Amino acid sequence: MKKNYWIILTAIIWVLYIIDTSFYNIPDMNIIRNLALIIPGIGIAFASIDYFDKRKKSK
Looking at the structure of the chain, the number of domains it has is 1
Would you give per-residue pLDDT tens digits along the chain (59 residues)? 566 777 777 777 777 777 766 666 666 666 766 777 777 777 777 777 777 777 777 76
Q: Are 43 and 13 in contact (CB under 8 A)?
A: no
Residue 43: which domain range?
A: 2-58
What was the pLDDT predicted at 11?
Answer: 78
Cα of first residue to Cα of last residue in the chain, in angstroms, is: 22
What was the pLDDT predicted at 10?
Answer: 75
DSSP annotation of 25 reads -
What was the pLDDT predicted at 45?
Answer: 75
Is the pTM for the entire model greater than 0.75?
no
